[in-house]
Each structure stands twice: as structure tokens, then as C-alpha cells.
Amino acid sequence: MRKYFGTDGIRGRANGVITPELALKVGQAAGLVFQRGDHRHRVVIGKDTRLSGYMIETALVAGFTSVGMDVMLLGPMPTPAVAMLTPSMRADLGVMISASHNPFEDNGIKLFGPDGFKLNDDVERAIEALIDGELHKKLAGPRDLGRAKRIESAHARYIEFAKRTLPRNVTLDGLRVVVDCANGAAYRVAPETLWELGAEVIAIGVDPDGFNINHDVGSTAPAALAAKVRELRADIGIALDGDADRVLIVDEKGQSVDGDQLMAVVARSWKDDDRLTQPGIVATIMSNLGLERFLGGIGLGLARTAVGDRYVLEHMREHGYNLGGEQSGHIIMSDYATTGDGLVAALQLLSVVKRQERPVSEVCHCFDPLPQILKNVRYRSGTPLQQDAVVTAIAHGRERLGETGRVVIRPSGTEPVIRVMAEGDDRSLVTEVVDDIVDAVAKAAA
């Protein structure tokens, strides 16, 4: 168990869990862990648009410079842009200040190594040990302190990178695109990228004020996007989350398309083009059984991992896959990026739409998803999943669904919640199974 790091960096309430004191120590500890060799060390820092980003950014700068690292500040930038720019700018470390799809009251710190990949558990443990250690004994001397400066070219560099993920002969001419940037990190780069590629762009969720990130906009609240797509008769809607590492698509009818369907579209396209490095893709235990059956029908496999894009990516790297992701819209295309990139995933879909010259609703309907029910049970403390009544309820649910369905129970990695999910061909049976397990967990948690 790690004390500070969860499934996606360090995350919590701003000025509650994520305090200036913690950010200072994270900067010092991470800076010390990544000082390897006698060269001048440097770190790039990006952030989303939360008010607390100013506070955390300043504390991190103090931490890194106090151990002798130079800091390059990118300003509001998508998480995948930070991951891309870290090796591009020969930085020893990359930092993204964001709580992703959470409300503005939360914030977080994500770290990337010099290769642009998220840190593994061992490195995170090493950083935690230093955070709780005697950091004051390891500070740089007065002559060895770091410097900080803002990088003005970061946005243009990321836009060019995103455009280069499409073949040279592909443009978005003739497409009317509504893009919802969740009042978050991509509010500048996403609309500009789509426009430069030739699309007619209508942008919403591009007026951040420090408080409105993810508020009734973005991939977790697609109703506004769907309404705008229908109103303007657009060809497609693209919804990003607060740090733009995930995407949700809305078709021309205003219907949502999740990450499972998006992975199916890209998997089939890449298979036809002989671009898959393995005969399959990687997804998590939460991806719909319908996706697995669809892939099997076209000769591809589905490898499943624990929830979290870092675990998807670890499996991809270990076994040589170049496509994976999550139902929530984290799509990882390792030919281009070291983490989920919502904008790049949307561009890959748009290239398929242009090539097939079919509506998005047709392109993105690869399979009928099986009924899938997910409910959350909040608890205060303890281990309700280990209670005998809960264990029995879970076993009984799996027995009832048999081989035609699945039950997935997991504690959240970011909040005190147990997620109960089941899926199968019979919706009423799936609902009964979930409700029975939820009741057992709720009683144990009480």
C-alpha cells in the first residue's frame, strides 16, 4: 500500500489533502529521485484550469528549485501534452497538476519519468519514503538552486504533434465538429487543432474561470454537447475531460459513444491496415462483454487488466500491444503517445469517418453492448468486502449469471467507494444481482 499515491498520482481536496506543504515535499522528493548524473536537471510542469493550480504550481516550483532542478512552466496543457513534452524537451521529470474529471474543489499531482511514461509503484514508493523523511538535509546549496521560466511555445508544439498523428493526405474538410473542452486544459489546443485540420469548429466549454472545470460540461456531462450537436446538425461531437486524457464521442443524432465502441472502431481499422502489433487490444475489467465478443468475431483478442490506464499501458508495454484503453474514454495509442490522449483518439476516429464517408452513428456502432449495471456504495472505514455476508452475496451473484455474464467488485482508487458492476444478456437478472450485492455491502459498511 502507498500512503500518498493512488491509481493515478496523488489526488484529493485542494488545500485539504493537496496542500502547499505536500506539493513542496513532492517537488523536493521527486526532484531528488530523478537527479541522475551531473547534468543540469530540469522538470516541465503543466496544469489544468482549477483555481488551486496556481497555489500548487508555486509550491512545486519552490520544491524543485530547492533541490537544484530547473523548472519549465507550460501553463494550462493537456496531460498527454505534458507526457509528450517531457522527453521532447529532454526533461528529467514531467508534472501535471490536475484532478482529471473531478470537480474544481479537488486537485492532484501526476508524475512522468524522462521517457514520458507514468511512474511505476517502486518509484512512487521511493518518492513517498523521501516525503516522510528528512528532506531538509538534502537541499541544494545557495549556488545550486534551480531557476524557473515559462515556455510560450508549448501549445504550438502540441498542436503540431496532434496533427502529425494523421496521414498527410487526411483533412477534416467538410466536417462540422462541436468540441467540448470541459472548461479544462485543452480549451485552447483542441479547437485550434481541429480548425487547422480543416474542420468547421464550434467550441463549448472553453471559458474557464477557475471554478467551472467539468461543471455540466465535458466527457462526464455530455448533455450540453449532445444538444449543441442536434441544434447545429453537426457531424460529430467531441467531449474531453478536465485534463483531456479521455474522450467521449457524440454522433450526429446526439447519442453518446463510449470508449469501448471507439476502441472497436480503431481496432478494426488498424487490423484492416495491418497496423496492430498484436492480434488484439488491451482493456480493463470494466469494458463491456460486447466488445470482447465483437473483437473475437473479427479474429482479435481482448486482454483485461485492473482499472486504471496505467495498468492498461503496463500490459501493453510488457506484451507488445499498441492499442488499449478504458470504457471511460482513456484510449492509449502507443504509436503516438505514452498515456491516454483524448484529442488524438478523436482524430483517429475522424480519419475513419472521412475514409468510409459514412455517418458517425454507423461507423461507431460496432456492437450492441450487453446490459451493464454499475452502482457505488460509500463507506467510512473498515473492509466490508471481507465480510462473510458480502463474500457469499458475490459468489451467489456470479453463480446466477454463469458463463453468460460477469460480476466485478472493486474499491475505488481515489475515494472511499466500492463499485459493484455486473453485466449479462438478461438485464433484469443483472439488476437483481447488483442490488443483492449492493445491499450486502451497504449493511457491512454500516
Catalytic: which of 52, 66, 100, 269?
Answer: 100
Strand partners, 301: 280
Q: How many CB atoms lie within 10 A of CB 226?
A: 19
Q: Is 100 a catalytic residue?
A: yes
Closest-CA residue to 81 (of 120, 45, 42, 38): 45
266's grid cell: 480503431
Q: How many CB atoms lie within 10 A of CB 24?
A: 21
Active site residues: 100
